[in-house]
Amino acid sequence: MFDEDLILKWLDEGTIDHAQAEKMKEDLAGYKRERRSKKQIVAFSTIGAVLIGLGAILFVASNWEKIGSMVKVLLLVGTTVGVHYAGYRLKYEQQKYFRLGSALIFLSTLLFGASLFLIAQIYNINANNSTLVLIWILGVFPLIYGYRSAPIAGLCSLLFYLWVSLLYRESPDLDKLISIWDLYLISGISIYFLGVLHGLEEEVKHAETPFKFMGLQAALFALFAHTFKLGEYQPDKIIPFIYAIPGIIFLAVLLPKSLREKLKSFQADLSISIVALLMAGITLTTIYIPASEETYMVLFNIIFLGLLTLLLYAGYSTENIWIINTSMFWFVLIIFARYFDFFWELLPRSLFFMLGGLVLLVISLVLERKRRELKVQFSGGE
């Protein structure tokens, strides 16, 4: 999308005349107003839909003892189906309230999960288990493609990590095989790779960004945890191969030119595959040539900072603001964490917090200013 600076440049070069320039400025201003209005509609309709759903759930919860089991089930199922049908009609049949219809369809996926847990509670089934979350995922996953819904793709990704956490807690044998941080890192890389595959086909491209975003957050969270002294790093011998498999598959997808040209965030994708292979190498070294905990802590800090640097470069190169935002957020977090590590014992507590707060404020201001400049630059001056 061009901006006013580009219009002035064309005017100075004689590509367009003053009348054309004024017309283009008016059209650009109108486009920006319409775009802002659409974003506001999406935000308000989503918030309104969520509030309606919360109200229905709270109504059932507040009258829990007074309502019979069958009535409870009918209320929950009826509300979910009714909201979904209303969203479908508004989005596809009437075609006048596309965004409100999308918000209601997304709300129905939340109500489906809430209904599952409440019905489990009605019939005295343990509601705090991974099976219900898995049913929730399987129940709403087809809607990602049926309705071409990016928000539902994001919800499924988030639910996947909730399912992984509950499954890990319920399965003591998993703790002997793999640490929770390795599990998050491997699953994060895998979800990110799933997003890369979606980016190769136009029909499913809508799910690319949510899968990649959630996968990247999980991978960075797990790597961030590895940068602390969390005990001796002792992975199982199977872990290097689990890391290596997505890394090799990643490279197989990224290296062919025909596929690489379809990916706008090639640098970021390549960074994740490198991290996967690095982790495979590190875990192999840990198994056969063990080193001290401090050595691995330094190594993971270097990998983490290197990945953030590569992501910043990728975000700037592809003008992808969410990658830049993610990198800046984790940069601030790692600086804050290392500040606590290095200066907690060295400085008086009052000076520690005052100096730390000042440093974080300065870093936050600088990064936010730069982020806004890039956002304006990427969005054509909007």
**pLDDT tens digits for range 17-69:** 777 777 776 766 666 666 666 666 666 666 666 676 667 666 666 666 666 77
DSSP type of residue 263: -
Q: How far apart are CA 160 and CA 217, in angstroms?
A: 13
**pLDDT tens digits for range 150-172:** 889 999 999 999 999 888 888 87
Nearest to 165 by CA among 151, 155, 146, 179: 179
- Those residues whose C-beta lies under 8 Å from the C-beta of residue 275, and which sit 6 or more positions away, are 189, 219, 223, 247, 303, 307
Conformational region of residue 2, where left means phi above 0, alpha means psi within -120 to 50, and beta covers everything else: beta
Q: Is the pTM of this model over 0.75?
A: no
Least confident range of 124-133, 168-177, 251-260? 251-260
Nearest 5°: the CA angle 181, 187, 190 is: 145
Residue type, 71: V
Nearest 5°: the CA angle 367, 368, 374 is: 90
Residue 36: alpha-carbon gap to chain centroid: 23
The ranges assigned to domains in the chain are 1-66
Indicate the Cα dihedral angle 364, 370, 376, 378, nearest 10°: -120
Q: How far apart are CA 15 and CA 8, in angstroms?
A: 10
Q: Is the pLDDT of residue 382 over 50?
A: no
Q: How far is CA 21 from CA 25, 41, 211, 378, in A?
A: 6, 30, 41, 21
